[in-house]
Structure 1
Amino acid sequence: MSVSPEIAPPTPTELLHDMRASVDDLADELVARIVAAEQDYADASLLTPEQLRFACWDNLSSMLANLDGTAPVRLESARAAGRMKAEQGVSLAALLHAFRLGGRLIWEELTARSDGRASQWLLDMAAQVWALVDVYSDAAADAYREAADRRAREDAESSRRLIRTLFANHALNPAGVADAVRAFRIPERGAFLVVSVRDSSSCLSADALRSRLSTVGIDSVWDTEVDGRIGLLWAPAEAALDAALGTLGEIGGGSVGVSRGFGRPGGIGAAVEQARQARRCAPDGSGDPTRYDSVPVPLLVIRQPDAGHLAARQVLGPVLALPADEQRSLLTTLEAWFSARGSTTAAAAQLHYHRNTVLYRLRRIQELTGRDFSDPVHAAELYVGLCAHRLLGAGRE
């Protein structure tokens, strides 16, 4: 009886050569496994099936060529895969899982094709396969992070351009404004306001302002200016915006100017200037938002600065000529008296003075200016002169 000669087990080189010859089928199998295991790949609308298959084919071919000793480690395919997944919205975790699935497929093919007859070299090959998967995964992850960082920078710059367009003159770039409205999902109709917040040490960042307002149901877009923040706020109804202004006064950290309300995004351009002007009219140290419609006299002053300076000199000239401390005490008293709607008792309480002190200082102002407080015309002139000095004097915008 003759004994059949034992068939020699395939060598690693032979197995890997056969696997390289069938890399098309392996790539198809890997694509199927990845899509089944990772929802990210199924959901990535920008990643086409052809792109995913080529990435699988490219990396399998490169890894098998290294394993069979015909090529050195070449990581171009891994880096390309990392960049592509970052640009097309596939998560880093899903990318790394795909490489692990590729390593498992290679290992399963090796064990299946060897028929279990080459256990020692298979064990050696296992370490080689998984070490190579780690090298390729690291290269892909590095490329992914670089691409993601670059994309984030580009997205941030694009967002800044859109925001600047939104708050600029709409007549200069209507197409850009339309793009910005779509990008920030600003509704075509609703209740809108523009607010301007003066910079201060406690002024929140644009992102922080947006986040805080979102907790009270207000959507917003913010830009950072040289001297503060400018923001567009919107909600389905005006009542929600009115309620949010109180929150804004608490968190803004500086004087807040508020535009007129408007109902469509087309009103943003005019509202930006209204909010800035309203902020300029805000009293020093006031935490309450100043509405554009609530300060007609201060608005007249800042719109006509030459006339405002003339009014301040003509009405308050003798007061302004006094030494700084005396001038400050008289003007502070005058401002408190107007704030108290002409009540000397309320003004005294506000200033923590005796009522007679307030009366003395008011009479002193009357002597210097020739304006009688009991005369409505004289009182109005004093108010305009005081507004002009406060808004146009040194230290104000």
Structure 2
Amino acid sequence: MTGPKNGRRPRTGHDWKLLKEACTALLPRLPELVEEHLRQLTEHSSVYGRVLPYDQQWREAEEAMRIGIETISAPRASPRRDLEYAEEAGRRRAQQGLPLDLLVHSYRNAGYLVWDSLLEGAAGKDPEKLRVLMRSATMVWSAVDAQAAVASDAYRATELELRRRTDEQLQALLDALLEGRSAPGLAARAAAGLDLPERGPYAVVVLRVDRRDGREAFHRQIQRAGFRFIWRMRTDCEVGVVALGTAVGEPGGEPGGLDDLAGLLDGRCPGPGGISPVVGGLAELGHARRLAELALRTCPPGATGIVRLDQRMPTALVVSQPELAERLVTGVLGEVLALEPADRAVLLETLDAWLACEGSAGRAAGRLYCHRNTVFNRLRRLEQLTARSLARPRDLVEVALAVEAHRLTRGARPA
């Protein structure tokens, strides 16, 4: 014969019979218990009443309490309908937005009401039934705990799935804006979901993803710097939507602009990258993204900096028209590019230094470690080869743009 478990006498068939009688006698009082249960829940928190209409709350509470009462009197081998219902209830409450702690509280509250009513029904009337109930207290509260645990697990799983779906929907809205799609209410829905103003100053940053080292640390740094960033990883680049707001720690300060943004990214960002001009709202993000990509295309091979389109307009004009850029290179630099590589590199290096030194032959000579007359001689040779005078503004613009086009479209740089 098997002894008692944990020092308690095992429940006999007679015990189960008395439990069933007590539970069956309680069922006619179920409407009264449901009314009291809902009254106590509302008294505990007004959120219950805001989540569901009273009639629906009443029906679901009645079904849950009835299943719970029937479960108390059923042998453990019986199917656990209470747990199945608790799982469904947990999913429903997550979808309805009831806080998890209030869901657990409702199970505890219902358990107290049912238990007190069972004891009240047996007290002073049937001492033997009361003794059976008292010996069943652990079983009853274990059932309530199991129901609350199953409901909580289902709630958390559903909440996680809902959050994943919401994130996917928000990412789809952001992608639609960055792709420049126009749909009624698109910007408004994105503003509400992303918690961003629909109108206001925005910029877009596009980073090349050649190097990912330090990217997470970079994101943490700039998120604390007073701008609101939302990042989207794409196959060949990383796109950041920037809400230009007031800098952190500067109450009443002016909204940050492109100067502040560029200063923040400079030295912190694993570039290269491009920054768009400021646009006036979420609906213009598609246009801003295209301009930021154009700014990125003005970065020569090997560059690591972040550039602003509004400061690279001539170069942007070159890279935006690759066929014309190729014609410009051929038409202006054709004779230069036909030279021996070493000779060609010296001339292009000299021109590049002279342009960088704002037309000062002396400063260019210092940079190149040669005499200023050497710089003049090389520039005169360039003028002969290109048939253009660097003293004439129009010719100078053509030569400068041709050199920039050669560097960007052919991946070449002066030696």
TM tier, smaller: 0.7 to 0.9
Per-residue deviation, 1:365: 7.5
Shift of the 340–85 alpha-carbon distance from structure 1 to 2, 3 Å rule, reads farther
Is contact 1:318-1:368 (8 Å) kept?
no
1:159 partnered with 2:141: no
2:250 aligns to what?
none
Hey, what does 2:21 align to over in structure 1? 14
**Map of 1:1-397 to 2, 5 A cutoff?**
11-37=18-44, 39=45, 42=47, 45-69=50-74, 72-74=79-81, 75-115=83-123, 117-118=127-128, 120-170=131-181, 172-202=182-212, 209=219, 213-235=222-244, 239-242=255-258, 243-284=260-301, 288-317=305-334, 320=337, 331=348, 334-343=351-360, 355-356=369-370, 367=381, 370-371=385-386, 375-377=391-393, 379-394=396-411
Whole-Å Cα distance in 2 between the matches of residues 208 and 98 of structure 1? Answer: 45
Unaligned runs of 5+ in 2: 1-14, 247-253
SS of corresponding position for 2:256: helix
Partner secondary structure for residue 173 of structure 1 = coil
After superposition, the C-alpha distances for 1:146-199 in whole angstroms (9 at most, x for unaligned) are 3123212211221122112222234x4233334223433443543232332222
Q: Taking structure 2 as the reference length, what is the TM-score of the superposition?
A: 0.76
Per-residue deviation at 1:287? 5.3
Flag the 1:160–1:245 CA change in 2: closer, same or farther, 3 A. Answer: same
Residue 240 of structure 1 aligns to a residue in which SS? Answer: coil
Distance in 2 between residues matched to 1:62 and 1:275, nearest whole Å? 61
Aligned length: 381
Q: Provide the rounded CA distance (Å) in 2 between the counterparts of 1:205 and 1:82.
A: 39
| 1:123-156, Cα deviation, whole Å (9 max, x unpaired) | 3211211221233223223322331232122112
Counterpart amino acid of residue 59 in structure 2: F
CA distance 1:161–1:264, shift in 2 (3 Å): closer
Change in CA separation of 1:114 and 1:312 when aligned onto 2, cut-off 3 Å? same
Residues 194 and 233 of structure 1 are in contact (CA less than 8 Å); yes or no, is this contact kept in structure 2?
Answer: yes
Q: Distance in 2 between matches of 1:151 and 1:382?
A: 59
What displacement does 1:279 show? 1.8
TM-score (norm 1): 0.79
| Cα distance in 2 for residues equivalent to 1:143 and 1:241 | 46
SS of structure 2 residue aligned to 1:169: coil
Structure 2 CA distance, aligned partners of 1:92 and 1:297? 59
Alpha-carbon contact 1:206-1:229 (below 8 Å) kept:
no
CA deviation string 1:296-343 (max 9, x = no partner): 211221222111112223334455457778866765665454334345
Q: Is the 8 A contact 2:229 2:241 kept in 1?
A: yes
